[in-house]
A = this chain, B = another copy of it.
Amino acid sequence: MIDLAKRVHDHTWKIDPIVRSLLDTDFYKLMMAQTVQKRHPDVEVTFSLINRSKHVPLAELVSEQELREQLDHVRTLRLSRGEVTWLRGNTFYGKQRMFSPDFIDWFEKFRMPEYHLERVGDQYELTFHGPWAEVMLWEVPALAILMELRSRAVLRHLGKLDLQVLYARAMTRVWEKIQGLRDLPDLRISDFGTRRRHGFLWQDWCVQAMIEGLGPRFAGTSNCLIALRREVEAIGTNAHELPMVYAALTDSDADLAASPYKVLENWQKDYSGNLLVILPDTFGTRAFLQNAPAWVTEWTGVRIDSGDPAEGARTAIDWWTAHGQDPRQKLIIFSDALDVAKIRELYAEFHGKVKLSFGWGTLLTNDFRGLGDDDRLAPFSLVCKAVAANGRPTVKLSDNHAKAMGPEAEIARYKRVFGMTSQREGELIV
């Protein structure tokens, strides 16, 4: 009887919302929002959607109306009481009261700011402008919405049995991947797949499969809502937007060169322990480490998010060793383009040399390659980045040229200031 009523009630819904909670986002966004809201309340930024996979004609697949409905729905969301309770009462990284009463007050009143949407050819221009701490919270839901609307568009024409078989095959694939990691005794792996997931329910299923299949080797998920519901760790620290915005706000080459370390200086005032993870690739890993002040070597770990991951890890290990740090006490987090073979390869090389952790993203939560008609469900490279801060353009160099962004003249200046001489041209899966 209850189900019947529920079904009929559901008929009154205008849409089937993709993002149903402000916590359906990555944990590091909250860590960053807390520090940004406290330290940089006056910085205004612009975030912009960038589809690096031009062969996917988003505006052909997804109608402007359904996209607007989903974005508008996110703007109606407020934290629920249970969600506030979780933020206040849960232990994050072994620490109670990670979020200050000030931040929680702010977040309880928070609603997503406005968006600007325009169709240009077969793509969308989607931008967000306003206070940094507010605008930054659009990145993950905006990406998740576009990815899932694209999935829905492709799946819309499949019959019930086709759908059942499709998901049966996708589940089999994920389960076999997980089985392929079970023999690594000291594996520590997390789900980092929120932004480019096939869909919310699918990500939630993948996390349950990881819990079941990997037991204590599964460290948690970057998705706050799923961490709450499945009672696992929420995982994440910080992202490129911090050095990108700090850099854009500098007025001289000297300040620009110092800005990535200013980010860390502020961060370590707010956080400690396993949250002290360096993301060194924004303007080139090698130069970042070479020029770093000595205290940076005290930090807990490094996250390798572009370039050749083994090379990045070796660079970090050499750097620690050169500064008298024991790499076996240090943490390396791999988070770029991981799948089972790559995870096993990195584990084989670095296990025992450093503490290892993996953040498994798109190829965990959206590996529908070859399923459905042709390859129309394959993941693609969609990002949403801070492109300006207080009216000045941002720049990212990255260790992979395909991930670089910013105005050409500024890229040249940054390369000069940060001493970047070579850059890998990597294949870009996602």
Q: Chain A: residues with CB nearer than 8 A to chain B?
A: 1-2, 80-82, 84-91, 96, 164, 167-168, 171, 205, 228, 231
**Alpha-carbon distance between A212 and B164 when the two chains are bound, in angstroms:** 35
Partner of A96, one of B81, B88, B167, B231: B88
Q: Are A85 and B90 in contact (CB under 8 A)?
A: yes
Q: How many copies does the complex hold?
A: 2
A1-B164, A82-B231 given; 16 more Cβ-contact pairs under 8 Å: A1-B167, A1-B171, A81-B90, A81-B231, A84-B89, A85-B85, A85-B86, A85-B89, A85-B91, A86-B89, A87-B89, A88-B89, A88-B90, A88-B96, A89-B89, A89-B90
Contacts of A91 in B (CB 8 A): 85
A377, chain B: closest CB distance, angstroms? 17
Residues of B within 8 A of A84 (CB): 89
Specify which chain B residues have a CB less than 8 angstroms from the CB of A2 in the assembled complex.
205
Closest-by-CB residue of B relative to A90 is: B85
Q: Whole-angstrom distance between the alpha carbons of A84 and B168 in the complex?
A: 36
A382 to B81, CA, bound (A): 35
CA distance A228 to B82 in the complex (A): 7
* Most B Cβ at <10 Å: residue of A82, A88, A91, A96: A82
Residue of B nearest to A228 (CB): B82
**A96 to chain B: which residues have CB within 8 Å?**
88
Asked if B88 contacts A231 (CB within 8 A), the reply is: no
Bound form: Cα–Cα A228–B85 in Å = 10
In the complex the two chains form, is B85's CB within 8 Å of A1's CB?
A: no
Chain B residues contacting A81 (CB-CB under 8 Å) are 90, 231
A84 to B189, CA, bound (A): 25
Bound CA span A2–B171, Å: 10
Min CB distance A226 to B, Å, is 12
Find chain B residues with CB under 8 A from A1 CB.
164, 167-168, 171
* Bound complex: CA A86 to CA B82 (Å): 8
A27, chain B: closest CB distance, angstroms: 15
**How many whole Å from A4's CB to the nearest CB in chain B?**
9
State how many angstroms separate the Cβ of A225 from the closest Cβ of chain B. 12
6 tightest A-B CB contacts, nearest first? A89-B89, A88-B89, A85-B90, A85-B89, A81-B231, A82-B231
Chain B residue at minimum C-beta to C-beta distance from A233: B81
Minimal beta-carbon separation of A90 from chain B (angstroms): 4
User: Smallest Cβ distance from A170 to chain B, in angstroms?
Assistant: 10
- State the Cβ distance, A114 to closest chain B Cβ, in Å: 28
Q: How many Å from the CB of A61 to the closest CB on chain B?
A: 25
State in angstroms the CA–CA spacing of A234 and B423 once bound together. 59
Complex CA distance for A88 and B86, rounded to whole angstroms: 9
Of all chain B residues, which has the CB nearest A91? B85
* Cα–Cα, bound, A86→B85 (Å): 6
